[in-house]
Structure 1
Amino acid sequence: MINTAKTYFYPSLTITAQGGLSDEKLSDFFNTSTLFGNIIGGLTQPIFNKGLNKQRLEIAKAQQQEYLATLKKTLLTAGNEVSNALYDYEAASEKITIRTQQLLFLQKSVDYTKALLKYTANTNYTDVLTSEQSLLAAQLSSISDRLQQLQAVVDLYRSLGGGWR
């Protein structure tokens, strides 16, 4: 658009089908005043429209800066979305790793509590139920962690430009 605005500073010579005719008489066909007036008008028009041409150029430059700023903002937003999605995925993956260890230890706790119930009188069935309840809560949290990881994958796919219609 800037190059188009710069072309208004140059003189223009237009060729039309009229050919300088302002009358329909054949005697005025070669009248140099109308032909010369059209040529001089086309060559001097940029001089008289200099303020308008400068304004067009400044508007084009401002629009170019606006489009560049919009592009930069779009790129920063896209990068931020990708970064956030990657972070969410990594965090969910770490939670799954830790939760897997927690599930293993809670399963051992349930097994040991049941063994204690069989062999000693110091424990009761409430302790077994409490340890099983903790295991169940951890299993539900594990499912939630997996859901967060899958949502992070979907967000990453969407932020990289994928999607559905």
Structure 2
Amino acid sequence: RPDVVAARWRVEAADKDIAVAKTRFYPSLNLTALGGVINPDVGKLLESGSVFGLVAPALSLPIFDGGKLRANLAGSDAQYDLAVADYNQKVIAALREVADQVTAVRSLEQRAQAQNDAVQTATAAFDLAQQRYRAGIGSYLEVLSVQEQLLLARQRMAGLQSQQLLASVRLQRALGGGFTPEPARDTAHAAPTSAQPNS
């Protein structure tokens, strides 16, 4: 997930800031500044008096800035702690969102399976009603009633399939991925043919 990755990068950046803040506690020598005082004639350099006076501008001693450096380190530590806390919150939120979406997908699968069974039952009832009507032992009103139940069952099934598709998209997004629709499949049932009264 982009939000989790971004939070992790902030943690890594804060960790590097701490490392940089710690290195500032060590003495450092600026070679660029030192180059300006280097004299090819060492003898003349020694005769000039205080060598330290020439080298001092190139030398950094953190003992003179200890308070400031400690404050900078404390600030870096605080930023790191905040970044870690933000990262942990985003990971927990992502896991919770994924868990919720997985639960929704599984629940819809169970409901769709039950509704599919209902469609099969209604289809069988409709076929039987048509057979009874054609055999002259059933009424046309019975056929229409059973047909209506079959249409309602298929309508509910179509609604559940739409919900399943949306739940799958939400799960993919919760996992940090995109969504690529699958090729269309002919899963819709043909509308039941209405029985016509025998002439």
Which range, TM-score by smaller chain? 0.7 to 0.9
Counterpart selection for 2:107 from 91, 113, 122: 91
1:74 alignment counterpart: 90
| Unaligned ranges ≥5, structure 1 | 22-27
Q: Distance in 2 between matches of 1:111 and 1:68?
A: 64
- Structure 1 pair 32/133, CA: closer, same or farther in 2 (3 Å)? farther
TM-score by length of 1: 0.75
State the superposition RMSD in angstroms: 3.1
> Which is further off, 98-107 or 146-155?
146-155
CA shift, 1:40, in A, is 4.8
Alpha carbons 1:5, 1:56 under 8 Å: kept:
yes
Counterpart selection for 1:104 from 88, 112, 120: 120
Q: Distance in 1 between matches of 2:54 and 2:86?
A: 43
1:52-63 paired onto structure 2 within 5 Å: 52-63=68-79
Q: Deviations over 1:125-148 (max 9, x none)?
A: 1x4333322211210111121222
Q: Deviations over 1:51-89 (max 9, x none)?
A: 110111011111111221122122122212321222122
1:160 alignment counterpart: 175
- Structure 1 pair 45/89, CA: closer, same or farther in 2 (3 Å)? same
Moved over 4 A (4+): 38-44, 111-114
Q: Distance in 2 between matches of 1:63 and 1:46?
A: 22
Counterpart selection for 1:147 from 162, 165, 174: 162
- Structure 1 pair 57/74, CA: closer, same or farther in 2 (3 Å)? same
> Which is further off, 38-47 or 4-13?
38-47
TM-score by length of 2: 0.64
CA shift, 1:43, in A, is 5.8
> Which is further off, 36-45 or 46-55?
36-45
> Which is further off, 148-157 or 93-102?
148-157
1:49 alignment counterpart: 65
Which letter maps to 2:105? Y
Q: Distance in 2 between matches of 1:18 and 1:43?
A: 13
CA shift, 1:44, in A, is 6.7
1:119 to 2:134 alignment:
no
| Unaligned ranges ≥5, structure 2 | 1-16, 180-199
1:24 alignment counterpart: none
Q: Distance in 2 between matches of 1:55 and 1:130?
A: 82
Which letter maps to 1:128? V
1:18 to 2:18 alignment:
no
Q: Percent identity?
A: 27
CA shift, 1:97, in A, is 0.8
2:146 alignment counterpart: 131
* Length, aligned pairs only: 156
Which letter maps to 2:173? R
Alpha carbons 1:92, 1:145 under 8 Å: kept:
yes
